[in-house]
Structure 1
C-alpha cells in the first residue's frame, strides 16, 4: 500500500467540483493544499466523491483511511445530508463515528464549519430558512464533536471572504476556482499554526 501523507474524506467539496482540471475532471483544494505542504501527489489519497453523505464516509471511505494511516487527514462532509435526507440523530452519530475513529491514530485531523450555502441557492425562502436552521444545528453538532475528539476546526463562518459570491461556483453549492484556492491557503496557515509545521509555501512567501 502506498505511504500516503495526506488523506481527504468527504463529498464533492473534497472531490474538487467547481475547479476544473485540464488533466482530469477536477483539481480542487486537496492537491493545492498538498503542494503548499510539500507533499507530492503520489502521497495524497483523495476519497471525496460526488453526493457522498456522512453515511457514505462511514461505510466506504473511513475504512480505507484507517488502513492507510496517513499522518494528516482532512474531512469535509455533511452538506448532502443537510440538503436531502436529513436525519439529525444519524448525522450526529456518523460525525461521532468518523472523528472518534480518526482520533485513535497518531495523526493530525482537520475539518471546517459549514458555510452559509443556503444563501447561494435559488430556492423558495421557506426552504432557505429551513436549510439555514439545519446548517446552524449541524455546525453546533460539529463543534461539539471536534471539541470532544481534538480535531482541528477552521471556522469559515467567521471569515468574511466566504460570504462573497466570487468564492462560489454558479450552482452555489461548490467553491469556485478562487474558492478552492482560498480554502487551500487558509488551511495551510491554519494547520501550520496549530501544529507548528513550517510548510514550504510559507517559507517561500516569507
Structure 2
C-alpha cells in the first residue's frame, strides 16, 4: 500500500548523522530521508516529518517527540531510541524498555504501521564489545514489546554486513553514507516497498600496518572519543542546540 504520512522518531540514527548533505535540513540526509524519497514516488500526496535529534536518550525522545508524532496522524512511523541510555555507565534496561513499551503502545494506537529497530550487534568491535550483553537484553525486550503492539522489527542485530567498517562514519559511532543507504534498502524491503535501488558502492578496503592502526586509533580517540566522554562528564549533548530537521509533515522535495 502507498504511504501518505511518514513520521520518523529517535536520535542521531534517524536524524541521519554520518550522512552529510548540505542541501538537506540540518546538513544531513540519512536512511529515513532516503526511504521518504522512494515513498514520495508512490503517492502524490505523500508528506514526511523527521522529529529525531542526535544525542537524545529514550526519555527525551518520548517527552519531546511522542505527542507531536501522534498529532500528525501518521500512517507510517519508524522509531529507534535507547542506545544513548545503554552507553551510559549505569542503566536499568528493563525500566527504560518498560517506558519504551508504553510509548510504542501510543504510537500503535494511531493505526499507523509501526517499525521498531533492534540495536546493532557490537560483538565485532573491540571498542563496544563490553556493552554487547546490554544491547542483547535490550533487543529481546524490544522484540517482545513490538510483538505486543503488532509492530514490525527491523532487525539491525542480524545484519552482519554492517561489521564492515566501510559502512560506518569516521567517528565509529554512526552509519556513514553507505551505511545509511544500506539501511534504507533494509527498511524498504521490510515494508515490502518496491524501490529498484542499487546496493551502495563501498570504497576500497584499506589494510593498515600495526603502526597505522595505532595511529588511526589514537586519532579517533582524540577527535571523537575524548569529546564524547567530555560531554558525558559535563552533562551536555551533541543535540543541545539542534532542532528537528523536519518538524511538521511536508511534501518531499
| TM-score (structure 2 length as normaliser) | 0.69
Distance of 2:72 and 2:123 partners within structure 1? 35
Tell me which residue corresponds to 1:195. none
What is the Cα deviation at residue 103 of structure 1? Answer: 1.4
**What are the Cα deviations for residues 107-139 of structure 1, in whole angstroms up to 9, with x where unaligned?**
10002210024744646xxxx42x111101100
Higher helix share: 1
Distance of 1:153 and 1:26 partners within structure 2? 25
Tell me which residue corresponds to 1:78. 82
* Contact 1:111/1:152, CA 8 A, preserved across alignment: yes
Aligned length: 190
**What are the Cα deviations for residues 80-117 of structure 1, in whole angstroms up to 9, with x where unaligned?**
01001522243122211221111111210002210024
Gapped regions of structure 1 (runs ≥ 5): 193-197
1:38 aligns with 2:40: yes
Q: 2:69 aligns with which of 65, 68, 74?
A: 65
1:187-198 equivalence runs, <5 A: 187-192=187-192, 198=193
Distance of 1:121 and 1:26 partners within structure 2? 28
1:87 aligns with 2:89: no
Assess, with a 3 A threshold, how the Cα gap between structure 1 residues 63 and 121 changes in structure 2: closer, same or farther: farther
CA RMSD across the alignment: 2.2
Gapped regions of structure 2 (runs ≥ 5): 199-253
What is the Cα deviation at residue 160 of structure 1? Answer: 2.2
| TM-score (structure 1 length as normaliser) | 0.84
Tell me which residue corresponds to 1:134. 134
Distance of 2:20 and 2:118 partners within structure 1? 24
* Contact 1:33/1:187, CA 8 A, preserved across alignment: yes
* Contact 1:18/1:169, CA 8 A, preserved across alignment: yes
Distance of 1:46 and 1:154 partners within structure 2? 18
Distance of 2:111 and 2:176 partners within structure 1? 33
Tell me which residue corresponds to 1:143. 143
